[in-house]
Amino acid sequence: MSDHESTYVPKTGIERWLDERLPIIRFGVDYATIPTPRNLNYWWTFGGILALCLVIQIVTGIVLAMHYTASADHAFDSVERIMRDVNWGWAIRYVHANGASMFFLAVYIHMARGLYYGSYKAPREMIWLLGCVIFLLMMMTAFMGYVLPWGQMSFHGAVVITNLLGAIPVVGPGILTWIQGGFAVDEPTLKRFFSLHYLLPFVIFGVVFLHLWALHQSSQNNPVGVLIPKERRKQDTLPFHPYFTVKDGFALVLFLMLFSVFVFFMPNALGHADNYIPANPLQTPPHIVPEWYLLPFYAMLRGIPDKFGGVVVMFASIGLLFALPWLDTSKVRSMRFRPAMRWFFIILLVVYFFLGWCGAHLPDEPVIPGVDGPDLFDGNLNSYLWLTRFLTAYYFGYFLVITPWMGLRETPLPVPEYVSSPVLSHDEKNG
């Protein structure tokens, strides 16, 4: 709502003085009163929740960095010292560690909302692209953060993931040595990961600012998915404050309750026990797994027989998200009015969940225990390897085939003209 008129009137002399020189209060007030579609549902509260997640991670992270020692010899003990001897250190560290999981939970819901309601389509492509950049940065930050406690999973996870870069033809080995800071994951790797883990959240912060800028330039989407023309603004929007600050606030408190259950009552439930064993390069854990939020990508990586091929597929799975605004041929944004497409989307969510499930299992483990399926190429059909491949095929198929094809072939339901008339059109549809 770039053409949203400013309603700010500076009242005091100081405010008038400041407003002429640096209209920062005007900026804040205008932002808070921005016209917001009145029909936003609770799926729209995750943007605010994510902003809070980022702030929580940055604040707890800064305090942790005051006590943490980025050195292969002392990192593990310094994290334990934070948990044992720093006042409230256990709380700060558990909030930070579980905060990463909560951040990803919220971002996945936020992204699913964008997919379902078509928030990536014109004129909002830039919001979506910047969001994808944030998602990539988040994954990098989370991965490097997981390395810092220098436990067994930290170390061997770092070995596995950095070695992926070595699979790139020609330049791979050089890049690998450059990233690791030597010929193996060691002290220099830990030090640079710490440095970047501290830096990247501020980069995320900057991209979030651009994400919001783009959001307010092209206006918010809404569950009906139609644009709100200027003349309908009175009927169809409400000022962000107080209507949506209070609604977001309520959702935020509920989210914090979930967060607190993990932090205070099961702080290690989302982690891996092996990461409380100090890193030992000479002893590889029997089963190296990333944190839950990276498991779907890890599964895709392992599903491809060729290592470099796996890396390409893994990055392509995220690259598809960037291309999505141009892969989608449908004129209708919200899947509320695309009943067939809605099913494909629900299947996509299930597929993504089970990809994560596959990532947590060894590829040659049978999916149904005790059943010996037929062999196909390099694995048994009844194995997580093949399940992963089928699911990966659907994931890619959804974006590359289903999305463009359905947009051309489906017959969407009638879309209401304005956001405040969906109830009527709904009745028409049913009647």
Partner 1 sequence: MKLDFRKSLAAAAVMAGLALAAAPAFAARTAEEPTGPAKGVRPVSGEFTFEGPRGQFDRGQLQRGYKVYKEVCSACHSMSLVHFRDLGAPGGPFYDPKYKNPNDNPVVKALAADVQVADIDTTTGDPIKRKGTPADAFPSPFPNAIAAAASNGGATPPDQSTLAKAREGGARYIYSLLMGYREPPAGLKVGPGQHYNPWFPGDVGSYWTGKGPVPKGGFIAMAPPLADNRVTYDDHTKATVAQEAADVAAFLEWASDPHAEQRKQTGWAVMLYLAILAALTYASYRAIWKNVSH
Residue 255 Cβ vs partner 1, minimum distance, rounded to whole Å: 10
d(CA 204, CA 139): 11
Residue 399 Cβ vs partner 1, minimum distance, rounded to whole Å: 30
254 counts as binding partner 1 under rule CB under 8 A: yes
Task: Tell me the residue type at 125.
Answer: E
What is each CA distance from 369 to 365, 375, 384, 389, in whole angstroms?
8, 15, 11, 19
Helix (H/G/I), strand (E/B), else coil: 239: strand
Question: How far does the chain reach from its first CA to its final CA, in angstroms?
Answer: 36
Interface positions, 225-244, toward partner 1 (CB under 8 A): 238, 242-243
The residue within the footprint of partner 1, chosen from 258, 318, 376, 424 (CB under 8 A), is: 258
Q: Do residues 35 and 237 touch, judged by C-beta distance below 8 A?
A: yes
The residue within the footprint of partner 1, chosen from 2, 5, 20, 286 (CB under 8 A), is: 286
The residue within the footprint of partner 1, chosen from 77, 125, 186, 410 (CB under 8 A), is: 77
171 counts as binding partner 1 under rule CB under 8 A: no
Site string for partner 1, 30-49 (x = CB under 8 A): --------xx----------
The residue within the footprint of partner 1, chosen from 260, 318, 343, 414 (CB under 8 A), is: 260
329 counts as binding partner 1 under rule CB under 8 A: no
Nearer to partner 1, 38 or 216 (CB): 38
253 counts as binding partner 1 under rule CB under 8 A: yes
Instruction: Tell me which stretch binds partner 1 (CB under 8 A): 17-25, 256-264, 289-297, 298-306.
Output: 256-264
Task: Tell me the residue type at 109.
Answer: I
207 counts as binding partner 1 under rule CB under 8 A: no
The 10 Å CB-count burial string (b at 16+, else e) for 273-287 is ebbeebbeeeeebee
Half-sphere exposure of 347 (CA within 13 A, CB side): 17
365 counts as binding partner 1 under rule CB under 8 A: no
Please give the sequence-ordered ranges of beta strands (E in DSSP) within 218-363, or none if there are none: 237-239
Picking from 409, 348, 359, the residue whose alpha carbon sits closest to that of residue 387 is: 359
- What are the DSSP calls for 173-201, one per residue? HHHHHHHHTSSSSSHHHHHHHHHHHHHHH
369 counts as binding partner 1 under rule CB under 8 A: no
> Residue for token digits 């993504």?
352
Nearer to partner 1, 95 or 158 (CB): 95
83 counts as binding partner 1 under rule CB under 8 A: yes
Structure token digits, residue 64: 């942790």
72 counts as binding partner 1 under rule CB under 8 A: no
Note the residues at the interface with partner 1 (CB under 8 A). Answer: 38-39, 77, 80-81, 83-84, 90-91, 94, 238, 242-243, 246-247, 249-250, 253-254, 256-258, 260-261, 263-265, 267-268, 273-274, 276-278, 286, 420
